Every structure is written in structure tokens, then in C-alpha cells.
Amino acid sequence: MDKERKLIIAGNWKTNKTVAEALDLVTALRRELADVKAVDVVVCPPFTALESVSKAILDSNIRLGAQNMSENGYGAFTGEIAAGMLKEFSVGYVILGHSERRQYQKETDALVAKKAAAAHAANLIPIVCVGETLMEREAAITEEVVETQLRGSLAGLTSDQVEKTVLAYEPVWAIGTGKTASSAQAQEVHAFIRKVLSSMHGDTTARRVRIQYGGSVKANNARELMGQPDVDGALVGGASLELRGFTDIVKNSI
């Protein structure tokens, strides 16, 4: 596939996998995906498995991501994980503002923006998630919602930082439901996101930002989704928990 932006496919394991299970999966992924060069492949295990997974993918083409981090550095922040702690395990990416955290931990756009700035300051690439709920889509306010989330969650970042940021469009109604946005629906919102980015930081920056789609991505819909001009990868939940599910998505996207 001939795109100006390299595809990036990340597995978000959410709150799943013991250390032993994580090691099994990533060892097999490493073997199965050893030849893949056209796609950046990232796995995002829970914090507890970062160290083991990090060792298991040493000198491979698989990169490591975390699922969240603190907006603060080291200090008295009980229960939090600082960017510097992630760097100890060669983490390169961090998912921020996932809809589950927005919903259950009440994360706001302003907080996500602080976390994104802290991630960039530590040379971590944030994967910033945005997306509308079913109610918002049915009320025909998808664009307003996504634009507000984008502007708020990227507030204060420089154009250079925005360019390095990965965005993930994850319609909440498509997460874990088996309902995927059609490739046309995904493309429409991705193009809109790029338009908003362009108005915030200019065309060149907007053209360089990679925008993943997330929400019930499976082997059988990956190719069509990745084939859309503004879809630059996937953030995969459920299907990334199994070897075949994830490797087939990667292979079908190339």
C-alpha cells in the first residue's frame, strides 16, 4: 500500500494477561511478525507485564506501549506511574485519553493535554484517543465532539509535537461491541480530524500525523479500513489478545 504515512498497528491489551500469558503471546508475535517492515507494530500490555515483555522483544521489530501514565513526574502521587518509570522498560508509546479512562476515571481533555505534554517531554509518543458515543452520533454531533476533544487534548503542544503524536479515532459505540464503523464512516471522520489538525497547525503537520482507527477491528475488516486514504493504522482491543487475531490484522493491512 502506497501511503505517505507508515501504518501503525497497536494492540491494546487493556486489563488482561498475567505476566506468563503476556510472555507467551509476545514471544509468538515476535516470531510470526519478524518479517514485517512496512508497518510499525506496537503492543501495549498492562504495567505489570511491561518489564517481561520489554525483555522478550529486545532487538525485534515490535515496539512497546503503555496504556496510561501520570501527567506528573516522580513524587508523591500514590498509585501513579511516571513517564520516567516507563522509559526504564524501553516504552516508546503511551495510549492517552482512551474512552474507557474518560468514562471510568473521568479523564478530561485538559488532563489528556497535560499527559501528552509530559509524554513528549520524556520522548514518549502519545497515542491520543478521541471518539463519539452512540448518543452523540445519533444526535449528529460527531464532528463537534471530536473537534472539541482534539483541540482540548492537544492544547499547548507545538506543531512539532503534534506531528509526532499518533491519534486514534475510536467511536465508543464500536469498542468491544462487534460493530465496526464502516470504512466510509471511518474515512469521513479521519478526513475531518485532518482538517481540524490543519486549521490548528497547518497542512504540512496535518499531513504527517498518523491517525489510527479503533473499534472492533478484526482480520476480516482490517484491509478495507487500512485502505482508506486517511486511515493510517489500527488500535486493536479484543482481537489483539490472541496470536492469530493480531497477526492476521497486521498481515492483511500490508
Could you give the residue numbers annotated as active site? 98, 170
CA dist 110 and 113 (Å) reads 5
CA dist 133 and 179 (Å) reads 13
Name the residue with cell 525483555. 55
12 binds ligand 13P, rule: CB under 6 A:
yes
131 binds ligand 13P, rule: CB under 6 A:
no
Of the candidate spans 46-54, 117-125, 154-162, 211-219, the one that interacts with ligand 13P by CB under 6 A turns out to be: 211-219
Contacting residue, 124, 181, 217, 231, with ligand 13P by CB under 6 A:
217
Name the residue with cell 473499534. 215
Nearer to ligand 13P, 70 or 180 (CB): 180
97 binds ligand 13P, rule: CB under 6 A:
no
Q: Which residues of 190-206 are buried (b: 16+ CB within 10 A; e: fewer)?
A: bebbbebbeebbeeebb
Contacting residue, 56, 235, 249, 250, with ligand 13P by CB under 6 A:
235
Closest CA to 41 of 6, 4, 10: 10
Per-residue interface string for the shown chain with ligand 13P, residues 169-208, x marking contact by CB under 6 A: -x----xx--------------------------------
Cell representation of residue 103: 468514562
- Name the residues that contact ligand 13P, by CB under 6 A: 12, 98, 170, 175-176, 214-217, 235-239
